[in-house]
Chains A and B, each alone.
Chain A
């Protein structure tokens, strides 16, 4: 009798690869293709017209604005949190990391709801905000808050493992040579972590531009004012303007594709890896 095999037979191999590819084809590739196919169903003309309406342009501008505010905020937070967590020992560190991850385990809808309960007309600060003529819910600040909450852990999550692995020898050497804290950060730490930081920012940005549930709860869906691209997709879809809905959706799908390609390049070039949670 020959020794039992340590790998699958060629037939089993082929079968497993086929099952995996068919499954991914049906569940991932077809939906992606459907977006572009539906958007271009009536040709390029209607597709471009749908993107050229004032409401669509306003939605694109608002989405870019929201990302331009939320992503840098979370970038600064992510770097500060990773610096504290990876360069120092203190009690409660595991708890702090768990708390930073908390927004991942909260439903997007609930993430919006908490800000309505705080700042909505009937919320905790509702009366005070009305008195001072300030608007957070159904306005841009509410959308920013919900987006910052949803994307809160992204940058910190990618930086913490990277900075743990790099240790703090480089920084200690710089300090002992007479550099101050900021010089050490700008000239030693930042160059070390720049690709990991870019990776985290990339994932954070994709989510910030694409967030739907949380933003939907706080936005009020006011066309031209508080409508982001994902919300505009919903409005057009519910009005049976399918070409318009899929045209805006195809821009978001392109953003997703660019994110995936950049992510793959960074992983391949710099050995970075995303966690299993996003």
Chain B
């Protein structure tokens, strides 16, 4: 038996309680103090509803874009060899390492009508900066590594034997992918989507520069919390934060249930 359990466990629990648990409990305590009618009035105001719709909607679209392209990136990194693969692989983690405010102003610079990319979209009538499309692009940036890094290890561990068996039985490559490979990496892909989605819903720094922040139109939920705080509307900020947290937890719980069900079905 090794020594140090009491010290390490006690310190861990005390530090966790002080830094994470008590502060997080405060927000639910504060929300409970509001009472139902006020909670509903400020937590589900028309402006708040528009913000939830925008935040959850753009996070979902960005999650789907990342699920498709993140899978392709993971596939290419695991299965193929090409020059510069090491660099590409390192670059995938850029959104984890680059401060969100830096990403925010860089993306805005790219997509304004005079920016490197915006100048080509402007003549086509596509407005990205200061619209929901810009918000989605920022969330694609932020969420990509979650999908790639979730799918990569599962794809790498996948035995080639089943694919060879499928081929021997006459399956085309596409059939093998849709019927053999995809079901095996599906849960990891769903995890990646869920992580990217949850991150996207709460994301602030990379979005606020490109979004334009018009109430009811391009105002994301985290920004609405900040706006409420700046006006000393603590009840509003708290209620919106609680609604967001509960909705995010509900989505993550739902995805966990779906995964548990699919594991039972496949017997894995």
Q: A residues touching B (Cβ–Cβ < 8 Å)?
A: 3-9, 12-13, 16-17, 19-21, 23-24, 26-32, 34-35, 38, 77, 80-81, 83-85, 87-88, 90, 96, 99-100, 102-103, 105-110, 113-118, 122, 124, 145, 148-149, 152, 168, 171-172, 175, 180-181, 184-185, 203, 206, 209-213, 216-217, 229-231, 233-234, 237, 242, 245-246, 249, 252-253, 255-257, 259-261, 263-264, 268, 273-278
Contact = CB atoms under 8 A, between A and B. Distances in A.
Contacts of A30: 110, 116-117
Q: Which of A19, A109, A273 has the most CB of B within 10 A?
A: A109
B133 interface: no
Given A26-B117, A34-B106, A274-B93, A106 B4 contact: no
Interface string B1-27: 011110111011101100111111011
B20 A277 contact: no
Contacts of B117: 26, 30
B8 A34 contact: no
A237 B2 CA distance: 54
Contacts of A234: 101, 209
Contact of A4 (B77, B90, B173, B203): B173
A110 B107 contact: no
7 contacts: A6-B173, A31-B107, A34-B109, A80-B11, A83-B4, A108-B204, A242-B109
A21 B88 contact: yes
Interface string B127-162: 000000000010011001110011001000000100
Interface in B165-207: 166-168, 170-173, 176, 191-192, 195, 198, 201-205
A32 B144 contact: no
B48 interface: no
B159 to A, nearest CB: 12
B102 A210 contact: yes
A237 B209 contact: yes
Contacts of B36: none
Nearest to B70: A23
Contacts of A81: 8, 12, 16
A278 B142 CA distance: 11
A231 B97 CA distance: 17
A252 to B, nearest CB: 5
B132 to A, nearest CB: 17
A13 B80 CA distance: 8
B225 A113 contact: yes
A97 B248 CA distance: 19
Given A12-B173, A110-B241, 10 more contacts: A5-B173, A19-B72, A88-B5, A102-B20, A110-B225, A113-B27, A114-B27, A145-B19, A260-B93, A277-B195
B26 A276 contact: no
A268 B89 CA distance: 12
Contact of A252 (B22, B102, B146): B102
B199 to A, nearest CB: 8
Given A13-B80, A148-B19, A230-B205, A253 B102 contact: yes
A263 B26 contact: no
A217 B101 contact: no
Given A90-B9, A113-B225, A114-B24, A122 B95 contact: no
Nearest to A212: B205
A88 B75 CA distance: 38
A106 B20 CA distance: 11
A184 B4 CA distance: 11
A99 B99 contact: no
A276 B20 contact: no
Given A16-B76, A113-B238, A276-B150, A5 B167 contact: yes
